[in-house]
Chain A
Amino acid sequence: MRNQSEPLSHSIGTTHKKAGYCGRERLGTLLDSYGILVIILVLGVVFAATAPRFLLPQNIANILKQISVVAIMAIGMFMVILLGGIDLSVGSSALLSAVVTMYLINHNYAPETVAIPIGLLAAAAVGFINGFMVESAGISPIIVTLGTMIAVRGLAQTILWIDNSWLWVKDPALLFLAQKNFGFLPVLVVLMVFLYALFMVILNQTRFGRYLYAIGGNQRATYLCGIPVVRFKTLAYTLSGLMAGVGGLVLVARLSAVSPAVGNNIQFDVITAVVLGGASLSGGEGRIEKTLLGALIAGMIINYLTIKGIPGPYQSAVNGMIILGAVILDKLSKARS
């Protein structure tokens, strides 16, 4: 099913770069996905050989749980990066949705069925503001989302300050989501896989997805085709905010508490996942399923470093270098083909 629409959406995204032969492109796409799987396999073998604990089922479930928050937020980031934008505000939106939701629940202002949607709406609203400022005012996305990153974190911390900067998460639904297992699989991982499946369909099968690739590939041409570019881009930013909100709720449920530092700097991990997944920062290129693999690579490396007892700051230093390594590898492979 998916393969039928894949060459179409893919070639729309890249026609301005290379005149596409569908067959060759499909082969190239296959090799691309294959490449990232090879990296995962090689890393897996090396890590398992040097740290036997790495391949224990317990540890693998642990890795999947650890990457889930970043991976969920990376869905939104992927769409924004596909459009040639970037969203630095996702960490702050995550905190905002968590604070709003837990504030409403803990003060008994609203039941969880109302509070959770309101929290998600708050995060989506941040995304909408980003999209509006980027699209309608024409400000560079990096600057806009930087501004909202600062302002929204300030707003969320101000609300959190009412409760002395600490809110416990005791809501059973959220705790079930973050801390329980379906047999072997954590519920959280099931949620992550479900969201990826959903967005794979949306991005690869629907008109919305095709338009996103088209806009990322050549914004002006898409606009001249009569497609409401501004509306679609604003929607992508809004979805990025929404996914950040989902990630924020899951994150605080895993931690069992909301503190002012929740989600601080998580945007860099999210961007790392998307870039490791091979998406181009100039837009129009990348696959959502590879973003998940990108998050997995980063998660494996961090997990391995933790097993080996490397302290946190060095882990983040390694994280920075992984981004560079991934982009350089990507450049090299493109230069060869």
Chain B
Amino acid sequence: MRYSGNHVSRQRVGHIMQVYGLLMMGVVLVVVFAALNKDFLTFVNLETILEQNAALAIVSVGVTFTIIAGMFDLSTGSVVALASVVMALVVQNSQSMVMALFVAATVALACGLLNGFLLSYGGINSVIVTLAAMIWSRGIALGVTKGDSVPFASPLVDFMNARSVLGLSPIVLVIGFSYVLGWFALGHTRLGRYAFALGRDVEATKQAGVNTDLYKLLIFMTSAFFVWLATVVTATRMSAGVPNAVYGLEFDAIVAVIIGGSSMTGGEGSIIKTIVGVLFISVLNNGLSTMGMRDSAFYLYKGAIILVALFFEVMSRQVLRSGGTHVAAVGAKG
């Protein structure tokens, strides 16, 4: 470690950037969007932002666990698509929503189990395992449906799209439930504690007597559980299983968690940080799309803003560390 002369003040600057940097960028975004679009800052639009990004918000809770444990889950979006297609097919054929929910849960958890098993007991890099799952599960979803969406009707669809449960939309309530559950599991259970331990040092965790393979598996099952919740919300919101749905969700979720301030090499992070990151990405998605720009421009701005946010997030972390060589920053290895 080398220490610069004004070590303390640099640390303070880094700390301020770390804690408030993204919030400040978020405020700037909101101000810009509000100036460009007078409907942006209305309650209806704020609720719409949450509903539009419900899948992102819910999946990000599970992704927080995997990233804190030092792993990546690239399969979430494709598994949501696969599970929602299967769910829709079951409703179409059996008219039983309970059955469909159960089957969707089975699909999501089975994918999580397979991924978790391969990367823990198989010892394969999590990026490769979940990248493969991202490709094959989307392939199956598209293959089974031949690319068409599978519409279905159910009382649950009407309920989820009704706007007035306790004055809030049921979708927003599901999001709230996910975050409370995630917050509790991360901060107050063995699973959460071991996730942090795995992210800091897998070997040391193993030496301490923790069954690290089992907990890696359980962390991916946790992620799969939130994937299932996201599936239910996505499918009922569209009242269809859409094989092309939530394209790129896995990337949005990972980016949200990381620009929220969780460390991309694991061992650090919180649900609160994820909330900030998810709100940032959601505002970005909604703000850019309500400006009526073309898809190409949308992706250009979105990618550029994400890169800038990432850059600041990481620079603040480096200032905070106040030194350390470039070599210390080895890429994440799941």
Chain A residues in contact with chain B, CB under 8 A?
84-86, 133-144, 146-158, 160-161, 219-220, 223, 229-230, 260, 268, 271, 275, 281-282, 311, 313-321, 323-324, 327-328, 331
1/0 contact trace for B211-248 toward A, CB 8 Å?
Answer: 00000000000000000000000000000000000001
CA distance A171 to B267 in the complex (A): 53
Tell me whether B106 is interfacial, beta carbon within 8 Å.
no
Tell me whether B318 is interfacial, beta carbon within 8 Å.
yes
Residues of the B chain whose Cβ atoms lie less than 8 Å from the Cβ of A219: 327, 330
Tell me whether B296 is interfacial, beta carbon within 8 Å.
yes
CA distance A314 to B139 in the complex (A): 5
* Given A154-B302, A282-B333: 18 more A-B contacts, CB < 8 Å: A84-B331, A137-B311, A138-B314, A141-B331, A142-B254, A143-B258, A144-B307, A146-B254, A149-B303, A151-B300, A229-B327, A275-B128, A281-B127, A313-B146, A316-B139, A317-B137, A320-B134, A323-B131
Q: In the complex, what's the smallest C-beta–C-beta distance from A100 to chain B, in angstroms?
A: 14
> Residue on B with the closest CB to A221?
B327
Chain B residues in contact with chain A, CB under 8 A?
72, 118, 122-125, 127-129, 131-143, 146-147, 248, 251, 254-255, 258, 264-265, 294-304, 306-307, 310-311, 314-315, 318, 325-333
CA distance A251 to B300 in the complex (A): 23
> Contact: B72 with A142, CB < 8 Å?
yes
Residues of the B chain whose Cβ atoms lie less than 8 Å from the Cβ of A316: 135-136, 138-139, 142
Provided the pairs A135-B326, A138-B329, A150-B302 are in contact, do residues A324 and B132 lie with their beta carbons within 8 angstroms? yes
> Residue on A with the closest CB to B124?
A327
> Contact: A323 with B258, CB < 8 Å?
no
Residues of the A chain whose Cβ atoms lie less than 8 Å from the Cβ of B332: 140-142
Provided the pairs A140-B265, A143-B255, A311-B143 are in contact, do residues A328 and B124 lie with their beta carbons within 8 angstroms? yes
Interface centre among B136, B140, B331 (most CB of A within 10 A): B331
Residues of the B chain whose Cβ atoms lie less than 8 Å from the Cβ of A157: 294-296, 299-300
Partner of B310, one of A139, A275, A328: A139
A-B contact pairs, 27 of them (CB 8 A): A84-B330, A86-B127, A139-B314, A142-B254, A143-B254, A147-B310, A149-B303, A154-B298, A154-B299, A155-B296, A157-B294, A158-B297, A158-B300, A220-B327, A229-B326, A268-B135, A271-B131, A313-B146, A317-B138, A317-B139, A317-B140, A319-B139, A321-B132, A324-B124, A324-B136, A327-B124, A327-B129
CA distance A154 to B288 in the complex (A): 13
Residues of the A chain whose Cβ atoms lie less than 8 Å from the Cβ of B129: 324, 327
> Contact: A331 with B139, CB < 8 Å?
no
Residues of the A chain whose Cβ atoms lie less than 8 Å from the Cβ of B122: 328, 331
Residues of the B chain whose Cβ atoms lie less than 8 Å from the Cβ of A141: 331-332
Partner of A147, one of B255, B298, B331: B255
Q: In the complex, what's the smallest C-beta–C-beta distance from A151 to chain B, in angstroms?
A: 2
Partner of A136, one of B140, B300, B326: B326
Residues of the A chain whose Cβ atoms lie less than 8 Å from the Cβ of B138: 313, 316-317
Residues of the B chain whose Cβ atoms lie less than 8 Å from the Cβ of A152: 303
> Residue on B with the closest CB to A230?
B326
Residues of the A chain whose Cβ atoms lie less than 8 Å from the Cβ of B311: 133, 137, 139
Partner of B303, one of A148, A229, A230: A148
Provided the pairs A151-B302, A313-B139 are in contact, do residues A140 and B264 lie with their beta carbons within 8 angstroms? yes
> Contact: B135 with A323, CB < 8 Å?
yes
Partner of A139, one of B264, B295, B300: B264
CA distance A133 to B303 in the complex (A): 14
> Contact: A150 with B136, CB < 8 Å?
no
Q: What are the 9 A-B residue pairs with the smallest beta carbon separation, nearest first?
A: A151-B303, A138-B329, A317-B139, A320-B136, A154-B300, A154-B299, A157-B296, A320-B135, A150-B303
